[in-house]
Structure 1
Amino acid sequence: MIDAEHFRSLLEDERDRILRQMESRRAEIASIEATLRDLHVDDQNPEGASTLFEISQETSLLAHQTELLGEINEALARITDGTYGNCLECRQPIPQDRLEARPWTGYCIDHAIRHRPRTPQH
């Protein structure tokens, strides 16, 4: 039997941590963008290219955190509706150690591979 309150606490703590990081990341992006505007830097000079890369990197991390936040909120909803801890595909219980490692997961190991976000190849 899954200890739903234990996992609710883990998920809420992780959600709060991510929200703080997202707020900090948004402030960092705004600061970098303000620097770009103030210095009239563009992508044609080395400092501009470096700064634009930094914005791109921060924006990418923010997008990842936004996605993770959505997964956490979905997991919290599954706790509320009583479906937490069962694979969304096969409906079988997700092993406890997997839930401890990734409490937001909705899939057992066998089905997680099919639902893993695709990352662009470099």
Structure 2
Amino acid sequence: MENSRLDASTLEHFRTVLEAQRAELLEQTAHHETSLAEVRVARDGESDDEHDPEGPTIASEWSRLTGLQEAGARELTVIDKALARVENGSFGICTSCGNPIARARLDARPAAELCIDCARRAEERH
């Protein structure tokens, strides 16, 4: 924790926030998995959804749900990395320049690993 300028109570606050985000994400993932199972059953049935003007097709629903699953998996990785930084004492320190990440940025994006300046530079490169 010698590199971190965040005190123990602040680190604990962010640990709690990140763990809550992680739990919510796992709950959403479970819901999406249940929905995917339902779509799988419909896909394997004799349903002719391509001509149903009332709702999305099985293919589009499958695509939407798998996209949500993939995004959730990426976000879970980001949160797990942030929790690891809390554990090893590097949370709140920019992984690029080594400077502290502003508290306001951490409040807005608790899993942030870059300070705002490095995040802007990274965005400009993409």
- Cα distance in 2, alignment partners of residues 41 and 70 from structure 1: 38
Aligned to 1:68: 75
Q: Secondary structure at the match of 2:79?
A: helix
The yes-or-no answer on 1:14 pairing with 2:21 is yes
- Cα distance in 1, alignment partners of residues 29 and 95 from structure 2: 28
- Cα distance in 2, alignment partners of residues 77 and 5 from structure 1: 13
Where does structure 1 lack aligned partners over 5 or more consecutive residues? none
1:106-117 alignment runs, 5 A limit: 106-113=113-120, 114=122
1:22-41 alignment runs, 5 A limit: 22-39=29-46, 41=48
Cα deviation, residue 41, structure 1: 4.8
Flag the structure with more relative contact order, 1 or 2, with Cα contacts below 8 A and sequence separation at least 6: 2
TM-score by length of 1: 0.84
Cα deviation, residue 62, structure 1: 1.0
Number of equivalences: 114
Question: Which is greater in Rg?
Answer: 2
Range moving further from structure 2, 101-110 or 82-91: 101-110
- Cα distance in 2, alignment partners of residues 51 and 81 from structure 1: 45
Q: Let me know the Cα RMSD of the aligned residues.
A: 2.0
TM-score by length of 2: 0.82
Percent identity (aligned) = 32
Q: Secondary structure at the match of 1:63?
A: helix
